[in-house]
């Protein structure tokens, strides 16, 4: 099974976009998205230096635009991707790239949101001098304890041996002087304490804008940074992306879900290398492909062919229907909802229970229950379709 992933801020490097502009259609798309983002992304992706593209308001739109453009170069006909990609995930701002790739939002919506996200986060970061530091190695519990001791937040948990601490510059300086035993510290090329309480003003701004974004349920399973759950609702995806600005990224849980889904190959879109590097350490035996330059496209397509989901993707069928899918592994509680039942918008339809949690799934748009795909008490895996519903209206927020 193939998982497509998109990196977050800090992955950008000067000139990384240059070779991609020679791919037919890419320069035109980047020029169009530059207008949407109100930034000259061609300039920033080809000529700007490292300090310039470190700016949050520049880095984030540049990352999302390059990721979507490369994905479209890899899959010129998006419907092909929906039949081959088993799941998508993005790290931090890469979630917007993933959401567009899964068909939950349009590329233009992604670029509008990332434009405002970058500006709002840059504004929030300007209030107090903050930053982030990667903690490499050490005992995880000891690392988390030391982070808490210095009043910092574990803003990213990227799996074994990599946790990112975030907070004020003074807190990070004290942390550097008193690091966790057996760990190495590396300052990150970011201009703020992202995914912490310092970003609360940015959440408020994005939440206001998100109300006007038209969404669709994703065409492939979407794995969320919040908790590694598979999310089936386009509205929920956007809401999670907004709230995630001030909440820790749990990439470790995303990778656990990938493992449960049966991932065999992970392909990272440009500027690639960060997430495939993490996967090599955390997901032993899973093949990876870092798509960095367009001369790798043929090899990338071969990689896709080797790992493409052989089974039919149920999320890509019958677009007039909607599916509720399991957010995590557990068992199903169907209750008394029978085939033919009319569900009101927001009505509880089915529950998934695991050893540690229980989640009630709702029929977001209401509709008629067409078909149950599981029986009461059945074990289910993340992303498994549970029930098919004919909706009353299209999704929008």
User: Among this protein's residues, is 365 annotated catalytic?
Assistant: no
Q: Which secondary structure element, helix H or strand E, spans residue 223, and what is its range?
A: strand 222-223
Give the single-character DSSP code of 341: P
Q: How far apart are CA 364 and CA 245, in angstroms?
A: 24
Helix (H, G, I), strand (E, B) or coil at 315: helix
186 and 134 in contact (C-beta within 8 Å)?
yes
DSSP string spanning 155-190? EEE-STTEEEEEEEHHHHHHHHHSPPTTEEEEE-S-
Q: Which of 34, 66, 91, 92 is catalytic?
A: 92
Pairing of strands 153-157, 347-353: unpaired
User: Among this protein's residues, is 77 annotated catalytic?
Assistant: no
Alpha helices in the chain (DSSP H): 26-37, 41-46, 50-53, 56-74, 78-84, 94-101, 107-127, 140-149, 169-177, 200-210, 234-243, 251-261, 274-282, 297-307
| Sign of the alpha-carbon dihedral angle for 313, 319, 321, 325 | positive
116 and 205 in contact (C-beta within 8 Å)?
yes
Q: Which of 230, 299, 227 has the alpha carbon at shortest distance from 265? A: 299
Q: Which of 34, 66, 150, 195 is catalytic?
A: 195
Helix (H, G, I), strand (E, B) or coil at 342: strand
Q: Is the peptide bond before 271 cis (omega within 30 degrees of 0)?
A: yes
- Residue 376: CB atoms within 10 Å: 11
Q: How far apart are CA 45 and CA 27, in angstroms?
A: 11
CA distances from 272 to 69, 172, 214, 269, 293 (A): 13, 27, 29, 5, 9
**Catalytic annotation, residues:** 92, 195
């Amino acid at each position: 099974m193939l998982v497509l992933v998109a990196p977050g801020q800090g992955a950008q490097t000067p000139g990384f976009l240059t070779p991609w502009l020679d791919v037919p259609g890419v320069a035109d798309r980047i020029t169009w998205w530059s207008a949407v983002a109100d930034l000259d992304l061609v300039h920033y992706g080809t000529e700007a230096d490292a300090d310039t593209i470190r700016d949050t308001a520049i880095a984030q739109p540049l990352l999302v635009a390059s990721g979507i453009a490369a994905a479209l170069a890899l899959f010129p006909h998006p419907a092909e991707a929906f039949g081959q990609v088993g799941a998508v995930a993005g790290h931090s701002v890469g979630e917007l790239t993933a959401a567009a790739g899964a068909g939950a939002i349009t590329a233009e919506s992604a670029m509008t949101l990332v434009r405002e996200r970058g500006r709002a986060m840059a504004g929030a970061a300007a209030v107090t001098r903050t930053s982030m530091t990667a903690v490499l190695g050490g005992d995880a519990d000891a690392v988390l304890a030391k982070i808490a001791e210095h009043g910092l937040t574990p803003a990213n948990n990227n799996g074994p041996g990599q946790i990112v601490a975030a907070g004020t510059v003074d807190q990070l300086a004290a942390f550097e002087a008193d690091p966790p035993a057996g760990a190495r510290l590396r300052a990150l090329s970011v201009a703020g304490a992202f995914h912490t309480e310092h970003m609360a003003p940015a959440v408020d701004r994005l939440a206001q804008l998100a109300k006007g974004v038209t969404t669709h349920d994703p065409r492939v399973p979407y794995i969320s940074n919040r908790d590694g759950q598979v999310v089936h609702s386009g509205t929920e995806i956007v809401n999670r992306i907004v709230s995630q600005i001030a909440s820790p990224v749990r990439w470790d849980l995303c990778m656990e879900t990938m493992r449960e889904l049966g991932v065999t190959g992970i392909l990272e879109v440009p500027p690639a290398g960060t997430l495939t590097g993490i996967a090599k350490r955390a997901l032993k035996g899973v093949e990876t492909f870092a798509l960095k330059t367009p001369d790798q496209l043929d090899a990338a397509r071969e990689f896709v062919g080797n790992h493409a989901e052989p089974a039919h993707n149920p999320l890509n069928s019958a677009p007039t229907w909607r599916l509720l899918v399991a957010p995590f592994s557990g068992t199903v509680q169907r209750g008394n909802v029978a085939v033919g039942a009319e569900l009101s918008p927001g009505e509880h339809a089915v529950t998934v229970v695991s050893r540690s949690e229980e989640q009630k799934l709702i029929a977001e748009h209401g509709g008629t229950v067409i078909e149950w795909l599981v029986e009461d008490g059945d074990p289910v895996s993340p992303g498994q379709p549970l029930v098919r519903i004919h909706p009353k209206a299209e999704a929008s927020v």
